[in-house]
Structure 1
Amino acid sequence: MQPIFGRRQAMALGAGAMAAAAMPARAAIPIAEVPPLRFAGERGARLRVLRPAKYIDPDEAIFNANTRRFTEATGIEVRVDYVNWPDMPVQVAVAANTGQGPDVIIGFGADAHIYADKLLELTDLADYLGAKYGGWYDLAKVYGRKWQGTAWMGLPMGGTTGPVVYRASWVKEAGFDRIPNDLNEFLRLCQGLKRIGHPCGFALSHAPGDAPGYANWLLWSHGGSLVDEEGKIALDQPSTLRALEYSRAMQETMIAGTMGWSGVSNNRAFIGGEVGLTQNGVSVYYALKTAQDAAQNAIAADTDHAEMPYGLATKAPETALTLTGMVPRYTRAPNAAKEYLRFMMEADQYDPWLTGCLGYWSQPLKAYGESAVWSSDPKLAVYRSAMDTPFYEGYRGPITPAAGAVAENWVLVDMFARVATGASSPADSLREAVRAARRWYR
């Protein structure tokens, strides 16, 4: 699904120009009348922007087109550097700790918390955009604002989540008309898919994005969490043991080799017809739908999406890997940097980006939920509310460097992998995970 620190490397899945040309007509985005906000760029300002690389071609193509529009409108030259997703945390850390580098950093969700003391406050900009575009979704507020505060240190720009991606005809052949919301029934569905020769596949390898997304779902759907509201480790609970047992049962239903999957393996397995069900962003469907190949278009017609089963959660236990725009204190062009972020989030630029990517980076501002992309294809509907979720990395506690360290060191993923492969008992694996988490949570 999604999320989490550092996902997969960029992979060209289609033609950006073709996708942009095929975008649905613009919807009437509900825009409130608020006092205009502009940041006068510094004389002679030039901007360098750092952001994650594309995962689908229109992401970069349309982002670059919008950047050129900014230069045409302001005269401010902008260079955008794209970095592979797994390398982003290092690049952001180097810039923050050396006090030099890009003027705008578009990092991942928790970065604004980890480097809050090194960033310019963006509250005026966030308040303006929120008032104009219907307010911010919960996940945007969690990642953008200081913990339990009102000051915005980052500007969330969109999030990609990972619901169930499945072949409808094979799910029906396995005896189900839809994806069940009950965990036991979901397991029974996956057992049925394996029985008919179309198994499921979920990563518990060190695959950025996919493996943390699956591990988090296992934990959250059973009522567990890494920490409690105070930030104290809360893994050592019966709920975690139940999730570990469930992961072992799920592993028995999967295609062989998932423990060695990379970030693109589930995409290739699904597109190649090797699996009938996985968990992923919109990129799989985008690749199939825009392919210049009738066979892949036929797979797209049989592909659908659904929320991951809730289990004990009251909402889909998924988060969204979130892009967060930040302005470092060291920049010599703070106003130009803030004006760039404002420009990119306004409807004339943002809606074509959202739409051209088929909602891959789902909106953080509620008004963009009325974008034409969400009514252009009912199969995209599940991605519409990606950022309307209470779940985040480090849930249920404060977002801290410790939460990031636990994710980057695969503590939860490895906890489940040891049990799923039979290398460890649930109790032993849980104890090891608690010990590992305590290295950062003190």
Structure 2
Amino acid sequence: MGQTKRRSVIKLAGSAAAVASTGMAGILATGRTPAYAQTKTVHWLRWVDFVPASDTLMRKELMPQAEKDLGIKINFETVNGNDLQPRTTAAIQSGTGPDLIQAFNNTTYIYGNSVVDLSDLAEDLGKREGGIYKYARSICSDGKMFMSMPWAVIGAMIAYRKSWFDEVGATSFPKTWQEYRDVAKKLKANGHPVGQTLGHTFGDAPTFTYPYLWSWGGKEVEADGKTVAINSKETVESVKFMAGFWKDGCDEGALAWDDTNNNRAFLSQTISATLNGASIYIETLRKPDQYQTEKGTPMNKDILHSPLPAGPAGQYGMHLLQSDMLMKYSKNQDAAKEFLKWIHAEKNFEKWFVSQKGFATPCTAKWEEHKVWTEDPVMAPFKVAARLGQAPGYAGLPNGKAAEALSKYIVTDMYAKAVQGMPAEDAVKWAEGELKKIYSA
């Protein structure tokens, strides 16, 4: 037994010496690959991108290049966006799962105790690229640590059919909610209603209902982040107006749509407008022969984008912020950090950004000057989405309690209940009760 151990040690030492003295030749002489390359696999979990070309780029070009440059294996996995949060929770509970997991909005705060601090990587990125936007910083950092690495903001704008709006006298997009309601009523009468989900889906529902609430002067909590303030005259008025807007101008079957239903409805020409990222427009660019107007012309020539209308308290936006969390249970933290450095290097990240065609807005100021924004004027409104976005939890911080309220769809459900017939005052009282359960805990 002693001889066996001695021979093994001598053999191992000889192999190590060969590698040290001859480099790759030494590795080949031993007949073994390096232990690092054998064991280090970084598992990255993301959503199925609404721009298919970007996932193709990841799989066929960027991930193979990362493996080659870093000497590690990348397990690139994509799932429906609504499945990310359940997957994250399950992985934390079991103590095993993907090393890097994409997070939406301020769900980062829910998992703050289960992630690795990425401040060094994030701050270095900000220094290189003109600073991280306040919106992205508030969601990815609690002021003590970066709970996730900022990735991009998916700008939420209203995509609309210009010719159909022209037909009802709206030669420019309505500036206020009242104007939008008046136009929507005419559009619906013409068989072209507005399509808007109020369902439990991660993107289009909250990015509509939160800014809508703020535009009327409503808010979840006061600036102290503790006092629930949703039961106000302003909120009640917003709920009453929503019920009328829904009946007058919306596709009433859209109540529980997810983030794909409105895309399909728009592309099949059953709705005239919907709050969305730029994926609808990008799809019509990708398949101009498939997506034609009723007159036989390319639909992409008849689509424009606009921010949400203004309410009595002003105009607001909330955009889907994406970031990547490095999980504490990961046994490949160093390799995962090296990968994050690699993918955020300008030459690598730019390839992904260009493939998005403006669907995603990076989280640092540098990219505002990129040519992608001038190549297609239809995409221009998305340029500053990351600069202007407001985080869930306003007027408080986007902390864990605000994230819990978002994940439970309380604000969205308040409006959904009203459009289904619940009196506005009752819907608001319900929301107040649900928020107090969270903020009083």
Deviations 1:201-244 (A, max 9, x none): 21123344222222213211112111222222210111101110
- 1:244 paired with 2:248, answer no
**How far off is 1:197 after superposition?**
3.0
Contact 1:175–1:192 at 8 Å: present in 2 too?
no
Q: Secondary structure at the match of 1:186?
A: helix
**How far off is 1:135 after superposition?**
0.9
The counterpart of 1:145, out of the listed 129, 141, 145, is 141
Q: Secondary structure at the match of 1:179?
A: coil
- 1:281 paired with 2:277, answer yes
Q: Secondary structure at the match of 1:330?
A: coil
Structure 1 counterpart of 2:436 = 438
**1:366-377 counterparts in 2 under 5 A?**
366-377=365-376
Structure 2 counterpart of 1:403 = 402
Q: Distance in 1 between matches of 2:367 and 2:118?
A: 21
Q: Distance in 2 between matches of 1:206 and 1:254?
A: 18
- 1:192 paired with 2:186, answer yes
* Aligned residue-pair number: 398
Structure 2 counterpart of 1:24 = none
Q: Distance in 2 between matches of 1:77 and 1:287?
A: 32
**1:24-173 counterparts in 2 under 5 A?**
44-64=39-59, 65-146=61-142, 149=143, 151-173=145-167
Q: 1:48 to 1:180 in 2, by over 3 A?
A: same
**How far off is 1:140 after superposition?**
0.9
Contact 1:228–1:396 at 8 Å: present in 2 too?
yes
Deviations 1:250-279 (A, max 9, x none): 112112412243332211221111111111
Structure 1 counterpart of 2:345 = 346
**How far off is 1:52 after superposition?**
1.6
Q: Distance in 1 between matches of 2:411 and 2:43?
A: 35
Deviations 1:113-139 (A, max 9, x none): 222222221111111111111111121
Structure 1 counterpart of 2:359 = 360
Which protein, 1 or 2, shows the higher relative CO under an 8 Å CA cutoff with sep ≥ 6?
1
Deviations 1:290-338 (A, max 9, x none): 1152543611100000111132455x42212121112122222222111
The counterpart of 2:255, out of the listed 229, 235, 259, is 259
Structure 2 counterpart of 1:413 = 412
Q: Distance in 2 between matches of 1:204 and 1:86?
A: 15
Which letter maps to 1:116?
G
Structure 1's unaligned 5+ residue stretches are 1-40
Structure 2 counterpart of 1:224 = 218
Which letter maps to 2:393?
G
Select between 74-83 and 52-61 the one with higher mean Cα deviation: 52-61
**How far off is 1:89 after superposition?**
0.6
Q: Distance in 2 between matches of 1:94 and 1:82?
A: 16
- In terms of fraction of residues, the more helix-rich structure is 2
Q: Secondary structure at the match of 2:74?
A: strand
**How far off is 1:406 after superposition?**
2.2
- Root-mean-square deviation (CA, aligned residues, Å) is 2.0
Contact 2:159–2:273 at 8 Å: present in 1 too?
yes
Q: 1:205 to 1:47 in 2, by over 3 A?
A: closer
Q: Distance in 2 between matches of 1:54 and 1:103?
A: 19
Q: Distance in 1 between matches of 2:93 and 2:319?
A: 27
Q: Distance in 2 between matches of 1:168 and 1:206?
A: 29
Q: Distance in 1 between matches of 2:405 and 2:91?
A: 22
Contact 1:42–1:335 at 8 Å: present in 2 too?
no
Structure 2's unaligned 5+ residue stretches are 1-34
Q: Secondary structure at the match of 2:75?
A: strand
Contact 1:351–1:371 at 8 Å: present in 2 too?
no
Q: Distance in 2 between matches of 1:258 and 1:188?
A: 19
- 1:290 paired with 2:294, answer no
Q: Distance in 1 between matches of 2:330 and 2:182?
A: 55
**How far off is 1:170 after superposition?**
1.3
Report sequence identity in percent: 26
Structure 2 counterpart of 1:309 = 309
Q: 1:108 to 1:256 in 2, by over 3 A?
A: closer
Which letter maps to 1:51?
R
Contact 1:58–1:353 at 8 Å: present in 2 too?
no
Deviations 1:121-165 (A, max 9, x none): 11111111111111111211111111xx25322111012122111
Q: 1:298 to 1:339 in 2, by over 3 A?
A: same
